[in-house]
Chain A
Amino acid sequence: MDSQHQPLETLQDIKRMMERSSRFISLSGWSGISAGICALMGAWAAYLRLKGFLVYHSGRTHQGIYAEESASYNLFIDLMIIAAITFAAALISAFFFTYIRTRRNGVPMWDRTVQRLAWNTILPMAVGGIVILRALELGYYEMVAPGCLIFYGLALVNASKYTLGEVRYLGYGQIILGILNLWIINEGLYFWAAGFGILHIVYGAVMWWKYER
């Protein structure tokens, strides 16, 4: 019996070594779920802030131009702060769950596979960040949500080569939402919440179901 199973084991060994050396496979499904929840909370906070702004301004039509400008400047700063907090919370929680999983699997958190994954995700995201900053500077606020979704989606598709292959489908989802959002403007917040919130939660839940249960 043993002599029959040995070649099979050897092949599995080979496969495991190839996987383990080229892909970071300890990405936790909980990371996706927690990032999604952070995104939904961030979107909710932004929605409340925007609604407050609109209600306040529709009630007072005789405001001076100066007051108008400073109010929208405040709105802009508040939205940026909400975005920064959301991003930081999502990143930290995602990192936390993945850290726990690497601990349990007994694999190093910072080896070559992680470095490669990090670089291949950060590069497209950083480029997207610059594009979005420039769009903000030019006042193309409608481009922010689709820009985030599209560049994030491209980063995920790129990253999928270096981690769980399913990340690719999450990326496709983000790209599709981003492109739709390019034509359905002024609904950016909803698209943003759907992409970063709901898609993440769905993806995280599926990954957890598949690999961690």
Chain B
Amino acid sequence: MKNPIENLNKIFDSRIRLGVMSILMVNEEVSFNDLKQMMEVTDGNLASHIVNLEENGFIKVHKGFIGRKTNTTYSITKAGEKAFKEHIEALENMIKGVR
């Protein structure tokens, strides 16, 4: 029998990473502050998870400015979209397998 969790992506184990990916799936571009607001996490916590996702090539970072304030936005990459969809599918199959 196939291992039902072999397609689960370890990177999406964290709730925060999962949250970032789900938000970026449905929004073209989201700023750091909006992500923070929607997930109710601290700066440092969110930043470290974002670095991880970026290093894996799942999200793209765009640094910009609004006046003098930095405005960093994020968007999902093709690879990120694919990995996330596979992860959701794996989760779904897992639930179907249980029932």
Are B95 and A22 in touch, CB under 8 angstroms? no
Partner of B91, one of A10, A21, A111: A10
Given A17-B38, A21-B30: A8 touches B95 (CB 8 Å cut-off): yes
Contact partners of A112 in chain B: CB under 8 A: 27, 30, 34
Q: Total contacts A to B, CB within 8 angstroms?
A: 46
Question: CA of A116 to CA of B74 in the docked complex: distance in angstroms?
Answer: 18
Chain A residues lying within 8 Å of B83, measured Cβ to Cβ, are none
How would you classify the secondary structure of chain B's contact residues: helix, strand, loop or mixed? helix
Q: How many residues of A contact B (CB 8 A)?
A: 16
Q: What residues on B are CB-neighbors of A17 within 8 Å?
A: 18-19, 22-23, 38-39
Picked from A4, A15, A21, the residue with its CB within 8 Å of the CB of B98 is A4
B24 nearest CB across to chain A (Å): 9
Q: What chain A residues lie within 8 Å of B23 (beta carbons)?
A: 17-18, 21
**Is B45 close to A, CB under 8 A?**
no
Distance between Cα atoms of A112 and B26 in the complex (Å)? 13
Q: Say whether A68 faces chain B, with CB atoms less than 8 Å apart.
A: no
Interface CB pairs A-B, < 8 A, 18: A7-B91, A7-B95, A8-B95, A10-B18, A10-B91, A13-B19, A14-B22, A14-B88, A15-B22, A17-B19, A17-B23, A18-B26, A20-B38, A21-B23, A21-B27, A21-B30, A22-B27, A111-B38
Query: Closest 9 CB pairs between A and B?
Result: A17-B22, A21-B23, A22-B26, A14-B22, A7-B91, A18-B26, A7-B94, A4-B98, A18-B22
Given contacts A4-B98, A10-B91, A17-B39, 17 further A-B contacts (CB under 8 A): A11-B88, A11-B92, A13-B18, A13-B19, A14-B88, A17-B38, A18-B23, A18-B26, A21-B23, A21-B26, A21-B34, A22-B26, A22-B27, A111-B38, A112-B27, A112-B30, A112-B34
